[in-house]
């Protein structure tokens, strides 16, 4: 493998490790408030890796690692819903909806962040309603389940948007071309 390929591969491994570490640390430090970088990291994984299998391993690894320290899911089916609801945003980045090349489309990124919050809230609460006997399997039961989930949802979109700004801002800084100082001409002007 050529040195340039080694550097590119090392950068990919470093980026993957950094994203997983950020998501795990954020998840472990804020389990009740849901003010975590997980959605931002998932969006960034899709944007950076552009391959669904490669990008999806970031949130899957982050969830698998942090779940070892957090409360277990009610069932395997519920865990599958949580993992799917967490991982789907990689598609936005992998299919170029968040930007092209290194250019970030900020409105799309923030829209993806809000969509991540909403899809996670509705899918996990609907799954809890459907998979458990905690609520009647009626429209009223579904509304009661969604209402019970609102305290957990309160900080999620705020955290997702804040972390998305931080993560994608960092990616933009990393991708920015180096600033080359202008040369002074013989007449003392800057070119």
Total residue count of the chain as it appears in this document: 191
Q: Is the dihedral of CA 88, 69, 170, 7 positive or negative?
A: negative
Q: Does 34 reside within a domain?
A: yes
The pTM of this model reads 0.86
The number of distinct structural domains making up the chain is: 1
Q: Does 158 reside within a domain?
A: yes
Q: Output 53 or 31, whichever has higher pLDDT.
A: 53
Distances (CA, A) of 92 to 32, 38, 65: 27, 15, 24
Q: Does 80 reside within a domain?
A: yes
Which stretches of 36-105 are DSSP H helices? Answer: 38-49, 52-67, 76-87, 90-94
Q: Does 186 reside within a domain?
A: no
Q: Does 30 reside within a domain?
A: yes
pLDDT confidence band for 100 (50 / 70 / 90): confident
pLDDT confidence band for 188 (50 / 70 / 90): very low
Q: Does 187 reside within a domain?
A: no
Q: Does 18 reside within a domain?
A: yes
pLDDT confidence band for 74 (50 / 70 / 90): confident
Domain range spanning residue 50? Answer: 11-174
Which residues, listed in sequence order, are joined to residue 99 by a DSSP beta bridge? 104
Q: Does 26 reside within a domain?
A: yes
């Amino acid at each position: 493998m050529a040195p340039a390929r080694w550097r590119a591969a090392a950068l990919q491994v470093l980026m993957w490790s950094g994203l997983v570490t950020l998501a795990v640390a954020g998840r472990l430090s804020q389990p009740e408030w849901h003010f975590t970088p997980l959605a931002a990291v998932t969006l960034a994984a899709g944007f950076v890796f552009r391959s669904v299998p490669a990008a999806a391993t970031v949130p899957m690894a982050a969830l698998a690692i942090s779940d070892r320290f957090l409360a277990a899911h009610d069932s395997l089916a519920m865990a599958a819903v949580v993992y799917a609801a967490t991982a789907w945003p990689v598609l936005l980045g992998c299919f170029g909806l968040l930007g092209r090349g290194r250019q970030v489309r900020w409105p799309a990124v923030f829209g993806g962040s809000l969509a991540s919050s909403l899809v996670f809230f509705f899918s996990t609460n609907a799954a809890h309603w459907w998979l458990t006997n905690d609520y009647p399997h009626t429209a009223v039961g579904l509304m009661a389940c969604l209402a019970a989930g609102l305290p957990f949802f309160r900080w999620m979109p705020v955290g997702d948007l804040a972390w998305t700004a931080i993560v994608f801002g960092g990616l933009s800084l990393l991708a920015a071309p180096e600033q080359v100082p202008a040369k002074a001409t013989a007449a003392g002007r800057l070119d």
